[in-house]
């Protein structure tokens, strides 16, 4: 197979995982796991609706408050968003891979994000994704979110490639399933360099690793 494009998730791939940070935030603020899941887990829950711009800032904050109020947690939806929009630390080893691929492949980022009215870098985990990729597809802008196949098709259409010509990297298995359903080759990313090894094998090229400088 000849691949023409590589597409990246942002949070958990190019930055540390917002999912992990949200779990820790909730535990540090005495929000029970079941309450956290009710806010952030369901496809029709407050966070998913916020990611599709079906809720605005005020709507999400109100829904967050409605969920946490019964458990007595001393945090608010507005406080959570203030914390969340500080961004997340980048992963230099993955950004080096993006730079190494740039001369050879079409590149895109696909992200489930929130708040279309925020500045672009605040919408993308603090990363200036629009300077890194020729295409950035944001759930809050297109009204679809991973793992819905439509968001992957939008990215492929904007790049001018078929899904079968594309490799997609994400840290969440559900998102990878959505991409595979469309015909994309997928790679799961974790905290190790294993995804870089797998991407090398899929593309048949050498890529920088944490112990080696970018070419």
| Whole-Å CA distances, 41 to 1, 9, 18, 34, 155 | 36, 18, 13, 10, 24
- Final residue before a domain boundary, out of 67, 84, 101: 84
The reported pLDDT for the residue numbered 157 is: 98
Under the banding of pLDDT at 50, 70 and 90, the label for residue 125 is low
Domain end (from 35, 68, 84): 84
* Domain ranges, residue 136: 5-16+88-203
Does 77 lie in the same domain as 112? Answer: no
C-beta atoms surrounding 56 within 10 Å: 15
Please check whether residue 103 lies inside any domain of the structure.
yes
What is the pLDDT, as a whole number, of residue 171?
Answer: 95
Q: Is there a single domain that holds both residue 31 and residue 59? A: yes
For the record, the structure tokens of 186 come out as: 């997928």
pLDDT of residue 130: 87
Which contacts (CB < 8 Å, 24+ apart) does range 185-193 have? Answer: 185/1, 185/3, 189/9, 189/12, 189/13, 189/94, 193/93
Both 123 and 159 in one domain: the answer is: yes
Does residue 208 belong to any structural domain of this protein? no
How many structural domains comprise the chain?
A: 2
**Could you tell me if residue 52 is inside a domain?**
yes
Residue 74 lies in a domain: yes
Decide: 138 and 111 in contact? Cβ < 8 Å. Answer: yes
Query: Which helix (H) or strand (E) covers residue 202, if one does?
Result: helix 194-203
pLDDT score at 85: 82
Same-domain check for residues 100 and 186? yes
Residue 102: Cβ within 10 Å count: 14
What is the DSSP pairing of strand 106-111 with strand 5-8? parallel
Q: Is there a single domain that holds both residue 167 and residue 190?
A: yes
What pLDDT, on the 0 to 100 scale, is given for residue 121? 58
94 within some domain: yes
Helices and strands in the chain: count of H runs, count of E runs: 12, 5
Are 95 and 177 contained in the same domain?
yes
Domain match, 28 and 69 both: yes
Segment 70-97 shows an average pLDDT of: 91
Specify the DSSP element, H or E, that contains 201.
helix 194-203
In a domain, 210, yes or no: no
| 214 occurs within a structural domain | no
Q: Quick check: 214 pLDDT over 60?
A: no
| Mean pLDDT of the chain, nearest integer | 91
**Same domain as 114, residue 67:** no
Domain of residue 115, CATH code: 3.40.50.1000
147-185 pLDDT tens trace:
999 999 999 999 999 999 999 999 999 999 999 999 999
Confidence of residue 88 (pLDDT cuts 50, 70, 90): confident
Q: Are 196 and 97 in contact (CB under 8 A)?
A: yes
Alpha helices for 69-165 (secondary structure H): 77-84, 92-101, 120-123, 129-132, 139-142, 149-159
Q: How far is CA 70 from the centre of its chain?
A: 30
- In-domain check, residue 100: yes
**11 Cβ contact list (under 8 Å, min separation 6):** 17, 18, 19, 88, 111, 112, 125, 171
Residue with tokens 């950004």: 95
Three-state secondary-structure class, residue 29: coil
Instruction: Please tell me whether residues 105 and 182 are part of one structural domain.
Output: yes
pLDDT grade for 109, boundaries at 50, 70 and 90: very high
Among residues 84, 113, 135, the one where a domain terminates is 84
């Amino acid at each position: 197979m000849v691949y023409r494009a590589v597409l990246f998730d942002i949070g958990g791939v190019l930055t540390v995982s917002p999912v992990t940070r949200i779990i820790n935030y909730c535990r540090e603020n005495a929000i029970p796991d079941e309450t956290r899941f009710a806010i952030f887990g369901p496809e029709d829950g407050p966070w998913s609706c916020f990611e599709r711009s079906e809720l605005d800032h005020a709507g999400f904050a109100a829904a967050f408050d409605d969920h946490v109020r019964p458990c007595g947690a001393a945090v608010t939806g507005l406080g959570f968003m203030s914390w969340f929009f500080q961004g997340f630390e980048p992963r230099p080893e993955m950004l080096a891979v993006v730079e190494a691929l740039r001369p050879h492949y079409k590149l895109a980022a696909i992200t489930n994000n929130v708040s279309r009215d925020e500045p672009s870098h605040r919408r993308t985990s603090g990363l200036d994704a629009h300077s890194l990729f020729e295409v950035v597809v944001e759930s809050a802008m297109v009204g679809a979110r991973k793992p819905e196949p439509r968001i992957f098709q939008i990215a492929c259409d904007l790049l001018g490639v078929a899904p079968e010509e594309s490799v997609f990297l994400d840290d969440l298995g559900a998102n990878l399933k959505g991409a595979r359903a469309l015909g994309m080759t997928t790679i799961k990313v974790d905290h190790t360099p294993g995804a870089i090894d797998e991407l090398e094998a899929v593309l048949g090229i050498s890529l920088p690793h944490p112990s080696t400088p970018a070419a």
